[in-house]
Amino acid sequence: MAEDWDAEFGTEPTAVIPSFFDMAGLRSPVKEGAINGNQIFESKGSEAANFGKRCSNTFGNSTGFGGFGKQGSGDGNGFDTNSSYIFEKQPVAGFAETTTVNESEFGSRVVRGCGFGRGNRGGFPRSTPQNAIEKASGDGPPVGRGSFSARRGFANHPGDGSGFSSSCGRGGFSSTSGIRAPWNSTDSEGNNKNQAPKVTYVPPPPPEEESAIFAPYQTGINFDKYDEILVDVSGFNVPSAILTFAEAHLCETLNKNISKAGYLKPTPVQKHGVPIVLAGRDLMACAQTGSGKTAAFLLPILEMLMRGDVAASQFKELQEPEVVIVAPTRELINQIYLEARKFSFGTIIRPVVVYGGTSTGHQIRQVLQGCNVLCGTPGRLLDIISKGKVGLSKVQFLVLDEADRMLDMGFEPDMRKLVTAFDMPSKQNRQTLMFSATFPEEIQRMAADFMKTDYLFLAVGQVGGACGDVHQTILQVDQYSKRNKLIEILTNIGIERTMVFVDTKRKADFLAAFLCQENFPTTSIHGDREQREREQALGDFRSGKCPVLVATAVAARGLDIEHVQHVINFDLPSTIDEYVHRIGRTGRCGNVGKAISFFDSNTDLRIARTLVKVLSDAQQEVPTWLEEFAFAAYGTSYHNPLGKVFASVDSRKGLGGNKDFSSYEANLPVTYAGKDHEDAWE
């Protein structure tokens, strides 16, 4: 089959991308001290108009933006309605309405009735090739989401041929996807132009200097307290835990790398997890956020490869990795890859990472150079496997990190495809490891399909519990007061690194813009930003250039960023697991952190009871008003609001006391997509 990825480089013109910072710059001068949405969005609306002009100059289709209806009334999720009013007043033809659209989309109003949002845009059905591509390869660039995806097109414009993405409408934040995806469906040669444009982004190479590779994460004052956490391992013939890394009898190079990384002693999940993996057992491990799960699987896997005389990786047209590691988000898999690179330093083992939003050609070339440990997001992984560049027959280890997240997003079929299709060895012939801080019971049952029946279940602390090193505060704040409250908190926090979680991508952009206007150096990360922008945002946050990061659920899990002192849930997530992961971005590795969550009784009642439980389990103060809400929240229980049962233990224990775990293999389909899953599959 002819490959097209080789032709990627240099063939596609670079789009003009108004980055968040460019746009922030363009909006200035900012009126000092403006908290008023009018001032903020006025300038942005103007810029959007200008940007829109540039778009329309490119494609000559500015007429496509007129005629959006007025918004329905309703909530704005913390953003007052004045701002959209300002947008409507923008005098530039066509584009004022565009900004209005997106401001309305920003709140929940869009869904309720202003006539845009879901639906067919410009005559494109939902099942456009673009959607298919996004789903199949998992790395659909923002273009699809903006221009063609069913999620947020301009529903009222049948056949208007405008081709503008929501990002244009958003005042130029995020990507310029609309520019790169005109709506005319075929080019002069009759080729379908609705295919996703090729992504040409090549991430910067990882650091080569040892000091950067091994830059240690400072452990905190509570690191030793990890030893006090109760650990439960269920299943048969449980290998003994180790107390020190030396007891694991790892090879010399690995031991050297462990000490270069500054690891003095193993955390509980490592003490128990390392020997379990070394013993060849399948493992489902649940341990609190930031407690070292990554090393708990990487170290024994690398050791096993070394013991097994893994072949030195070299260039081959078909690579056959011994290890496949899958994680739900691009940033997380990249982080795991960097950890794998760190621990395999000085060995012949070569880890490679593949993830969406980057040039497939580049990543395939990386894979072909040699690949023992293939780290990937599911979509890109399947994509590269389907191109025949990766064979799975030699896979000895399959790791699913944040396994519950990967299985609970309605993409179970993709996971099954990976696990059962192609030449992946059967579960009897590979070791399967699943890690997360949360494992709802249904997910455990489904996961059992992927693992040998005698897998071990390791629970460090309470399954699904919040990290005890995070001081949690819940404030009752209605949506219209959220912005002011946030400003008040950030003013007190100063330049300490803070992650602010919101429930939609649009809100992430708007809030980040707002905070910039308020002179808080802020950046944002969400699924509609181009990968280059996402990585830049994380880099700016890590370095402290932008101490505030506004994020959607895409950054809720796994990200390990030093010095994050605060997490603010501007919007509470719809599930308690997501809450636990979000606040786990702080208080990592024995450090203490603070989490403040805005509870709006109009929208957050469904999480009240589980929140009370998580707070009290972590010995945090539970506000009386929250207890009252929890008590009154009829119909909810100490369950996931979407119906999933929280597991406090290995779900096999619940089988009428049946200790014969091996006889149990249930398979309950679970699909749900809450609001916090909008950034879902990567």
Ligand X SMILES: Nc1ncnc2c1ncn2[C@@H]1O[C@H](COP(=O)(O)OP(=O)(O)OP(=O)(O)O)[C@@H](O)[C@H]1O
Binding mask 193-232 for ligand X (x = CB under 6 A): ------------------------x-x-------------
**How far apart, in Å, are the Cα atoms of 382 and each of 59, 284, 319, 370, 530?**
35, 23, 14, 18, 21
231-234 vs 456-460, strand pairing mode: antiparallel
Nearest alpha-carbon partner for 573 in 501, 519, 621: 501
> How far apart are CB 435 and ligand X at their closest, in Å?
7
Nearest alpha-carbon partner for 152 in 124, 182, 186: 124
Number of residues that bind ligand X (CB under 6 A): 21
Rounded Cα–Cα distance for residues 553 and 551 (Å)? 7
- Phi/psi for 55 (5° steps) reads -60, -45
Element (H, E) at 459: strand 456-460
| Closest CB to ligand X among residues 199, 433 | 433
What is the maximum alpha-carbon separation in the chain?
A: 73
| Closest CB to ligand X among residues 507, 557 | 557
> How far apart are CB 224 and ligand X at their closest, in Å?
11
Per CB under 6 A, which of residues 568..627 are in contact with ligand X? 584, 588-589
Element (H, E) at 593: strand 593-599
The one among 45, 153, 292, 321 contacting ligand X by CB under 6 A: 292
Angle at 189 between CA 154 and CA 387, to 5 degrees: 80
SS3 annotation, 80-139: CCHHHHHHHHCCCCCHHHHHHHHHHHHCCHHHHHCCCECCCECCECCCCHHHHHHHHHCC
679: CB partners within 8 A, 6+ apart? 329, 505, 526, 527, 552, 553, 554
Rounded Cα–Cα distance for residues 507 and 526 (Å)? 10
> How far apart are CB 569 and ligand X at their closest, in Å?
16
Binding mask 514-553 for ligand X (x = CB under 6 A): ----------------------------------------
> How far apart are CB 493 and ligand X at their closest, in Å?
21
Note whether 294 binds ligand X by CB under 6 A: yes
The one among 175, 289, 360, 640 contacting ligand X by CB under 6 A: 289
Which range, of 13-21, 184-192, 264-272, 628-636, touches ligand X by CB under 6 A?
A: 264-272
Cβ–Cβ under 8 Å, residues 451 and 432:
yes
Cβ–Cβ under 8 Å, residues 449 and 666:
no
**Strand stretches in 120-270, DSSP E:** 231-234
Rounded Cα–Cα distance for residues 145 and 600 (Å)? 29
> How far apart are CB 568 and ligand X at their closest, in Å?
17
Note whether 376 binds ligand X by CB under 6 A: no
The one among 153, 169, 178, 290 contacting ligand X by CB under 6 A: 290
Note whether 250 binds ligand X by CB under 6 A: no
What letter would DSSP give residue 173?
A: -
| Closest CB to ligand X among residues 130, 569 | 569
497-501 vs 522-525, strand pairing mode: unpaired
351-354 vs 231-234, strand pairing mode: unpaired
**Strand stretches in 444-590, DSSP E:** 456-460, 470-476, 497-501, 522-525, 548-551, 564-569
| Closest CB to ligand X among residues 560, 571 | 560
Note whether 395 binds ligand X by CB under 6 A: no
| Closest CB to ligand X among residues 270, 575 | 270
Q: Is the peptide bond before 216 cis (omega within 30 degrees of 0)?
A: no
| Closest CB to ligand X among residues 149, 219 | 219
Which range, of 30-38, 274-282, 293-301, 351-359, touches ligand X by CB under 6 A?
A: 293-301
> How far apart are CB 559 and ligand X at their closest, in Å?
7
The one among 144, 172, 266, 461 contacting ligand X by CB under 6 A: 266
> How far apart are CB 216 and ligand X at their closest, in Å?
7
| Closest CB to ligand X among residues 154, 439 | 439
Which range, of 33-41, 263-271, 455-463, 662-670, touches ligand X by CB under 6 A?
A: 263-271
| Closest CB to ligand X among residues 122, 290 | 290
Q: Which two tokens stand for residue 215?
A: 């830059």
Which range, of 15-23, 199-207, 228-236, 290-298, touches ligand X by CB under 6 A?
A: 290-298
Q: Taking the alpha carbons of 43, 45, 49, 55 in that order, is the dihedral positive or negative?
A: positive
Q: Which two tokens stand for residue 584?
A: 């786990």
Note whether 344 binds ligand X by CB under 6 A: no
The letter for the amino acid at 234 is S
Question: Exposed/middle/buried for 129, CB within 10 Å: 0-12, 13-18, 19+?
Answer: middle
Q: Which residue is nearest to ligand X (CB)?
A: 292
| Closest CB to ligand X among residues 486, 589 | 589
Note whether 438 binds ligand X by CB under 6 A: no
Note whether 263 binds ligand X by CB under 6 A: yes
| Closest CB to ligand X among residues 178, 266 | 266
**How far apart, in Å, are the Cα atoms of 28 and each of 31, 46, 158, 376, 550?**
8, 11, 36, 40, 20
Angle at 101 between CA 96 and CA 104, to 5 degrees: 125
Q: Which residue(s) pair with 569 in the sheet?
A: 501, 597
> How far apart are CB 589 and ligand X at their closest, in Å?
4
Nearest alpha-carbon partner for 518 in 497, 498, 548: 548
> How far apart are CB 592 and ligand X at their closest, in Å?
14
> How far apart are CB 402 and ligand X at their closest, in Å?
7
Note whether 104 binds ligand X by CB under 6 A: no
| Closest CB to ligand X among residues 292, 351 | 292
> How far apart are CB 287 and ligand X at their closest, in Å?
6
Please, where are the H alpha helices in 432-493? Answer: 441-447, 482-493
| Closest CB to ligand X among residues 296, 424 | 296
Note whether 560 binds ligand X by CB under 6 A: yes
Note whether 267 binds ligand X by CB under 6 A: yes
| Closest CB to ligand X among residues 437, 615 | 437
The one among 104, 291, 431, 597 contacting ligand X by CB under 6 A: 291
Rounded Cα–Cα distance for residues 376 and 381 (Å)? 5
Note whether 299 binds ligand X by CB under 6 A: no
| Closest CB to ligand X among residues 160, 331 | 331
Q: What is the CA radius of gyration of the chain?
A: 25
Note whether 355 binds ligand X by CB under 6 A: no
Nearest alpha-carbon partner for 639 in 467, 440, 424, 412: 440
> How far apart are CB 248 and ligand X at their closest, in Å?
12
Which range, of 19-27, 205-213, 287-295, 475-483, touches ligand X by CB under 6 A?
A: 287-295
Note whether 106 binds ligand X by CB under 6 A: no
Which range, of 47-55, 265-273, 311-319, 359-367, touches ligand X by CB under 6 A?
A: 265-273
> How far apart are CB 259 and ligand X at their closest, in Å?
10
Contact positions vs ligand X (CB under 6 A) = 217, 219, 262-263, 266-267, 270, 287, 289-295, 437, 558, 560, 584, 588-589
